[in-house]
Structure 1
Amino acid sequence: MKIAIIIVRTLIGLMFLFASVSWFAMVFFHAFPMPPVTGNMKVFNEGIAASGYLMMLVKITELVCALLLLFGRYVALALVVLFPIMVNIVSVNAFLAPSGLTTVIPLLIGILFLAYTQREKYAALFTAK
C-alpha cells in the first residue's frame, strides 16, 4: 500500500507541476501559443483573465502543492488546498468541456485516494466540540 501511495502522490504532483509550469512558460515566456478555445469555454477563460489575478493565484497554489506532494511534505495540507481547485476543474470539464473528463476523473480519484490515506489527520476537523 505504501508504494501505491508514493506512486499516486508522485503522479498527481507531476501532473500539477506540469500544468503550472507550462502555464507560466506560456504566459511569461511565450514558449508556445495558447490553445484555441471556443464557445462557453472561451467566455469562461476570458472571465478568469479579466480578474487579472485569479489564474496566477491558482497556478502558484498548484505549483506549491505539487512540490509538497512530490517531496512528501505536508501532504494532508496540500490535498486540502488542492481539493477546491480540483472540484472546479471537474466542474468546468463536466459542464464546458466533457471530453476533458477522461483526464480529470483519474486525477480526482487519485486525490480522493490520497485523502483517504490521510484520513486520520482529517479526523479532528469532523469532531464536534
Structure 2
Amino acid sequence: MALQCTPQIAIDEGELEENFVRASGPGGQNVNKVASAVQLRFDVRRSPSLPNPVALRLMKLAGRRLTDDGVIVIDARQHRTQERNRADARERLAALVAEAAVPPKPRRPTKPTLASKTRRLESKSRRGAVKRLRGDAGSD
C-alpha cells in the first residue's frame, strides 16, 4: 500500500523507513518501557516516486528535517500509542510533499503608476529642499 500525497504522487511503502524509539512525552507508566515514538525516514534524492522539480522544492521546504544525504527525518512523539504516532508522521510527510507539489506562482514584473512616480519625485524634491536649507548661513 502506498502513501497517497496528491492525486498524482504516491510514495511506495518500500521507500519509507520507520524506527521506533522511546518517547519523552506522555505515556504514563509505559513511557520508560514502550518505544512509542516514531522516526520516519524518506530518501528524497533517490525516490523514483517524486518528479525532479517536486523533489527539489521538497528538499528546500524540509529545512532542518533534511540530512546532508537528502533524507527527510520526521519525528512523531506527540501521542501515547505507536500507531497514532506512526499515522501522524505519515500525515506530516504527505502534507509536506503535497505542499512541495504545488509549483510557485511566477512573478510578473509591473511598471510603477504615474501617480507613484509623481509622489516619489515630489518627496525627493522636498527632501532636497530640506537638505539645501541645512547649508551654511552665508556671510553676514
- TM-score exceeds 0.5: no
**Higher RCO (CA < 8 A, seq sep 6+):** 1
TM-score, length basis structure 1: 0.29
1 or 2, which has the higher strand percentage?
A: 2
Greater Rg, structure 1 or structure 2? 2
TM-score, length basis structure 2: 0.28
